[in-house]
């Protein structure tokens, strides 16, 4: 008999749960309440609660559109050459000896996620120790990206809930007992979700241990410029590792710092011992990319390349970026003050101490569920809130919700 409507070859397929982060937006979109507030996904909003396209990005796009000589031909497998060159300079520094010595290979990828995935697959193919250590907690997509890339995922201690700070001893102990050669995933700055970063002195100790043990650092840089407001300061962790002449990988995203979320612009750089190795590594990266998506999209990378190359546009970008970082910091202060004013039980100083887009509030999943149910506030169930989604007008509502959750839900 011909197959009928009720009988599908996919009948055994079970419904998968929504993504823990992007699923928050799905739930938010379904909510009809006028007071609803989305503090789930890390996406910058203005004081008016609107998504922001940077002026400098609009300007670059206009220039691109007006240039009739531009065509839509495929980019090379590794992406736009100027974009790759500028991206390496942005993260490693314009005077980086590693770049001058041609021992860095940079390939354009699909934002931060795509860069992590391409790097992960390359390592699964070509690196002997196929184990990657990720911090606890970390961005929820990390374990999935690396497992599907073919690596085995293990964890190292990072955050101490008791102090709401770095578990530095735990981190060092776990890295010290990792097998020689293991890969270590490090958040370059503005650790997601905790907002807790090592100090520069601690980074230096981490670097010494990693080099001593022959571990391979893989940096995820999704928030350069968002932590301190300075692109150079936020790249310090990466730069101390490159300065010692050792090897490492870096995944860069322009989603947040240039507001190019949906354009999917990012880069993977692999810093190698010498130019010869870098050339061979790049030839193999092409073999990873070609069957995955062939070559990356041209539009977003052209915007970034133009902004990074043009001194005036670059300066304008740094001003707009600082504006975003400052607004987030101001939200931290306003939320902290609002909780103080309400006499909300507990110590909330972590709200102003944490760094980057998120506050890791310490609220548990029941308290989060309560805030969503009673106050229409959407956030990830681990108690992370995106400070970039807040504004002066919504701070009181959030503070009321936190106060109620803490006093009424255990
Ligand atoms: N690394 C980290 C640490 C990170 O937080 C994100 C995104 C990414 C990489 C990937 O970003 P991309 O858009 O691929 O460049 N984090 C936010 C969005 C998401 O989950 O996709 C978030 O945590 O809300």
Q: What percent of the chain has pLDDT over 70?
A: 99
pLDDT in tens, 152-185: 999 999 999 999 999 999 999 999 999 999 999 9
Q: Which ligand 1 atom sits closest to the C-alpha of 141?
A: 20
Under 8 Å between Cβ of 290 and 77: yes
Q: What is the pLDDT of residue 379?
A: 96
Whole-angstrom CA distances from 343 to 163, 164, 252, 346, 402 are 21, 20, 41, 9, 11
Q: What is the pLDDT of residue 410?
A: 81
Q: Read off the pTM.
A: 0.96
Q: Which ligand 1 atom sits closest to the C-alpha of 138?
A: 3
Answer yes or no: is pLDDT of 124 > 80.
Answer: yes
Characterise 49 by phi-psi region: left (phi > 0), alpha (psi -120 to 50), beta (else).
left
Q: What is the pLDDT of residue 6?
A: 76
| 22-53+322-408, CATH topology level | 3.90.1150
Under 8 Å between Cβ of 136 and 170: no
Q: What is the pLDDT of residue 405?
A: 96
Q: What is the pLDDT of residue 5?
A: 64
pLDDT in tens, 54-79: 999 999 999 999 999 999 999 999 99
- Rounded distance between C-alpha atoms, residue 215 and residue 180, angstroms: 6
Please, what is the average pLDDT of the chain?
Answer: 96
Please list the residue range(s) of the chain that carry CATH number 3.40.640.10. Answer: 74-309
Q: Decide if 256 is catalytic.
A: yes
* Mutate-to-test residue for ligand 1 from 222, 259, 357, 388, highest number of ligand atoms within 8 A of CB: 222
Please list the residue range(s) of the chain that carry CATH number 3.90.1150.10. Answer: 22-53+322-408
Q: What is the pLDDT of residue 137?
A: 97
Q: Which ligand 1 atom sits closest to the C-alpha of 266?
A: 15
Ligand 1 center from residue 246 Cα (angstroms): 27
What class is the 74-309 domain?
Answer: alpha beta
Tell me which residue has its CA closest to atom 20 in ligand 1: 21
Under 8 Å between Cβ of 206 and 60: no
The stretch 32-52 carries a mean pLDDT of 93
Answer yes or no: is pLDDT of 2 > 60.
Answer: no
Task: Give the tokens for residue 335.
Answer: 């939320």
Tell me which residue has its CA closest to atom 1 in ligand 1: 222
Q: Which ligand 1 atom sits closest to the C-alpha of 111?
A: 15
Q: Any idea which residue has 């001893």 for tokens?
A: 169
CA proximity to 292, closest of 312, 326, 268, 260? 268
Q: Decide if 174 is catalytic.
A: no
List ligand 1's pocket residues with C-beta within 6 A.
21, 41-42, 111-113, 139, 141, 187, 192, 220, 222, 253, 255, 261, 266
Counting every residue written for the chain, the total comes to 410
Q: Which ligand 1 atom sits closest to the C-alpha of 42?
A: 24
Q: How many CB atoms lie within 10 A of CB 22?
A: 12
The stretch 131-137 carries a mean pLDDT of 98
Q: List the catalytic residue out of 203, 234, 256, 382.
A: 256
Whole-angstrom CA distances from 84 to 61, 87, 93, 268, 308 are 19, 5, 13, 9, 11
Under 8 Å between Cβ of 200 and 239: no
Ligand 1 center from residue 357 Cα (angstroms): 11
For residue 25, name the pLDDT band (cuts at 50, 70, 90): very high
pLDDT in tens, 372-398: 999 999 999 999 999 999 999 999 999
Q: List the catalytic residue out of 220, 234, 382, 400.
A: 220
- Rounded distance between C-alpha atoms, residue 228 and residue 230, angstroms: 5
- Rounded distance between C-alpha atoms, residue 389 and residue 192, angstroms: 15
Tell me which residue has its CA closest to atom 12 in ligand 1: 112
The stretch 231-251 carries a mean pLDDT of 97
Q: Decide if 68 is catalytic.
A: no
Ligand 1 center from residue 225 Cα (angstroms): 15
Under 8 Å between Cβ of 186 and 203: no
Q: Can you give the chain as a three-state secondary structure string?
A: CCCCCCCCCCCCCCCCCCCCCHHHHHHHHHCCCCCCEECCCCCCECCCCCECCCHHHHHHHHHHHHCCCCCCCCCCCCCCHHHHHHHHHHHHCCCCHHHHCCCEEEEEEEHHHHHHHHHHHHHHHHCCCCEEEEEECCCCCHHHHHHHHCCEEEEEECEECCCCEECHHHHHHHHHCCCCCCEEEEECCCCCCCCCCCCHHHHHHHHHHHHHHCCEEEEEECCCCCCCCCCCHHHHHHHHHHHCCCCEEEEEECCCCCCCHHHCEEEEEEECCCHHHHHHHHHHHHHHHHHHHCCCCCHHHHHHHHHHHCHHHHHHHHHHHHHHHHHHHHHHHHHHHHHHHHCCCCCCCHHHHCCCCEEECCCCHHHHHHHHHHHCEECCCCCEEEHHHCCCCCHHHHHHHHHHHHHHCC
* Mutate-to-test residue for ligand 1 from 112, 261, 300, highest number of ligand atoms within 8 A of CB: 112
- Rounded distance between C-alpha atoms, residue 251 and residue 221, angstroms: 6
Under 8 Å between Cβ of 42 and 113: no
């Amino acid at each position: 008999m011909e197959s009928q409507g009720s009988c599908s070859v996919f009948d055994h397929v079970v419904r998968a749960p929504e993504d823990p982060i992007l699923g928050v937006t799905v739930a938010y979109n379904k909510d009809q309440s006028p007071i609803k507030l989305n503090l789930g996904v890390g996406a910058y909003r203005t004081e008016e609660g609107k998504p922001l396209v940077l002026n400098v990005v609009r300007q670059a796009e206009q220039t691109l559109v007006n240039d009739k000589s531009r065509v839509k031909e495929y980019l090379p497998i590794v992406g736009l050459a100027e974009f790759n060159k500028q991206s390496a300079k942005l993260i490693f520094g314009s005077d980086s000896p590693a770049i001058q010595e041609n021992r860095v290979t940079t390939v354009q990828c699909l934002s931060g996620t795509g860069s992590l995935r391409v790097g992960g697959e390359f390592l699964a193919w070509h690196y002997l120790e196929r184990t990657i250590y990720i911090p606890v907690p970390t961005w929820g997509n990390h374990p999935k990206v690396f497992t599907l890339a073919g690596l085995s995922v293990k964890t190292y201690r990072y955050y101490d809930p008791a102090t709401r700070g770095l578990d530095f001893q735990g981190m060092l102990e776990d890295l010290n007992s990792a097998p020689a050669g293991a890969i270590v995933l490090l958040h370059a700055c503005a650790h997601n979700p905790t907002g807790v970063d090592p100090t520069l002195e601690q980074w230096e100790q981490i670097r010494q241990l990693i080099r001593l043990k022959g571990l391979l650092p893989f940096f995820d840089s999704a928030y350069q410029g968002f932590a301190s407001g300075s692109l150079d300061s936020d790249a310090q962790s990466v730069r101390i590792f490159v300065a010692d002449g050792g090897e490492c990988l870096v995944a860069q995203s322009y989603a947040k710092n240039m507001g190019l979320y949906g354009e999917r612009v990012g880069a993977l750089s692999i810093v190698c011992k010498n130019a010869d190795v870098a050339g061979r590594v790049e030839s193999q990266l092409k073999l990873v990319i070609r069957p995955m998506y062939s070559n990356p999209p041209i539009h977003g990378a052209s915007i970034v390349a133009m902004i990074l190359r043009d001194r005036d546009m670059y300066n304008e970008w740094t001003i707009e970026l600082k504006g975003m970082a400052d607004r987030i910091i101001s939200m931290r202060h306003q939320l902290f003050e609002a909780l103080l004013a309400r006499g909300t039980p507990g110590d909330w100083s972590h709200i102003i101490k944490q760094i980057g887009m998120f506050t890791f509030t310490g609220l548990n999943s029941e308290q989060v569920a309560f805030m969503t149910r009673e106050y229409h506030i959407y956030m990830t169930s681990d108690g992370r809130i995106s400070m970039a989604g807040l504004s002066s007008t919504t701070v009181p509502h959030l503070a009321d919700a936190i106060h109620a959750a803490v006093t009424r839900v255990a």
